[in-house]
Amino acid sequence: MTEGSAGASAVRVRGLWKRFGDQVAVAGIDLELPAGRFIGLVGPNGAGKTTTLSMLTGLLRPDQGTVEVVGHDVWRDPAEVKARIGVLPEGLRLFERLSGWELLTYTGRLRGLPGTEVDQRAAQLLDVLDLAGARHKLVVDYSTGMRKKIGLAAALLHNPEILFLDEPFEGVDPVSAQTIRGVLERYTASGATVVFSSHVMELVESLCDWVAVMAAGRIRAHGPLAEVRGDAPSLQRAFLELVGAGGRDAGTDLDWLGGGPR
């Protein structure tokens, strides 16, 4: 978004492969994600989004290929990479027997931030994310939306350059979703990069300025939102065309459904 960071790439992926047994989850991805953008990784369930994000963040070892984050190899130079990224994975637990406050101070101190700084940042994050009232409640008793928000707070605490979010809006109520959105928009406006995965096209269309479309373990299209959308009326349409589901129509089946004779 800022002029200075245009052209620089936040993440550079080359020939990334991952198989689980016979199943190929990620089938050779080459991708450059520009810095300073709000990037959406979209695709149907099972497209390989979570597997890809896990490999980008060093939580899953790829079978082949390299990942560079802000110019540092994820596997050869983990110290440089881990200090610069924030992650909110999907399907992994948090330390749920800590309260929201304790989880944040724990994460901050593990990250090596000074104690007073952690306390200050944690209090502000809890405030902004509407969690101040639940700060002393155990995370195990949080709702889905609250968990996503506390996860986001933990990912933002050390002020990372790049934020990776896996389905951050899944199962989140509209109020929490709006709060998360507000925080992310403020964060990217300052020049940071957000990479998030979703299968909700409307959401991606309204939030992102750069998208990568995934299906069956491959990247089908990538680039600025307008470019990927092309002539299609919406990203949803363009996406259905790209993944080859555009022609499918429910018109002829289920013709008994609806009005008329029961």
| Residues in contact with other proteins by the rule CB under 8 A | 57-61, 78-79, 81-83, 85, 87, 89, 91-99, 102, 105-107, 109-112, 115, 133-138, 140-141, 154
Instruction: Answer for the pair 216, 47: CB distance below 8 angstroms, yes or no.
Output: yes
Nearer Cβ to other proteins (1/59):
59
Please tell me the distance from the alpha carbon of residue 48 to that of residue 197, in angstroms, as a whole number: 10
The least CB distance from residue 198 to other proteins, in Å, is 20
The least CB distance from residue 96 to other proteins, in Å, is 7
DSSP state of 112: T
Nearer Cβ to other proteins (92/245):
92
Closest C-alpha among 63, 45, 47 to residue 55: 63
The least CB distance from residue 154 to other proteins, in Å, is 7
Name the token pair of 25.
């989850």
Nearer Cβ to other proteins (41/81):
81
The least CB distance from residue 53 to other proteins, in Å, is 12
Tally of residues, the chain: 262
Nearer Cβ to other proteins (12/84):
84
Nearer Cβ to other proteins (152/207):
152
Instruction: Answer for the pair 151, 96: CB distance below 8 angstroms, yes or no.
Output: no
Instruction: Answer for the pair 104, 126: CB distance below 8 angstroms, yes or no.
Output: yes
Please tell me the distance from the alpha carbon of residue 177 to that of residue 244, in angstroms, as a whole number: 30
Listed in sequence order, the residues at least 6 apart from 56 whose beta carbon sits closer than 8 Å to its beta carbon are 11, 13, 67, 69, 74, 164, 195
The least CB distance from residue 64 to other proteins, in Å, is 15
Nearer Cβ to other proteins (95/245):
95
The least CB distance from residue 101 to other proteins, in Å, is 8
Listed in sequence order, the residues at least 6 apart from 152 whose beta carbon sits closer than 8 Å to its beta carbon are 88, 129, 165, 168, 180, 183
Please tell me the distance from the alpha carbon of residue 168 to that of residue 148, in angstroms, as a whole number: 6
Nearer Cβ to other proteins (83/175):
83
The least CB distance from residue 228 to other proteins, in Å, is 30
